[in-house]
């Protein structure tokens, strides 16, 4: 995600977990920078440049969605 838009990135899936914090994935990529937010999706319409919005923890908790603590 760059400037509120999706940008494709090649990643390697390393692991996943299901727990109290929700579903989490562990990935690595030479393209990742420290602190960079990523979105994982299997949506067929998710294309480069698609505008996205970050859901804050407060909104996510209200709606019952799992997000990271960022």
β-sheet bridge partners, residue 2: 5
Going from N- to C-terminal start, the domains of the chain cover 12-63
In 3-state terms, the chain is what percent helix, strand and coil (to 5)? Answer: 10, 25, 65
Instruction: Give the residue, 62 or 55, on which the prediction is more confident.
Output: 55
> Residue 16 phi/psi, 5° resolution?
-155, 160
pTM above threshold 0.85? no
Q: What is the pLDDT of residues 3-57, one digit of tens each?
A: 788 888 888 989 988 888 788 888 899 988 888 877 777 767 777 888 877 776 5
């Amino acid at each position: 995600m760059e400037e509120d838009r999706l940008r494709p990135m090649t990643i390697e899936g390393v692991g996943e977990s299901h727990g109290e914090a929700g579903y989490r994935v562990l990935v690595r990529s030479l393209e990742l920078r420290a602190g960079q937010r990523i979105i994982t999706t299997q949506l067929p319409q998710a294309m480069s440049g698609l505008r996205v919005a970050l859901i804050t923890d407060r909104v996510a908790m209200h709606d019952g969605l799992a997000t990271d603590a960022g």
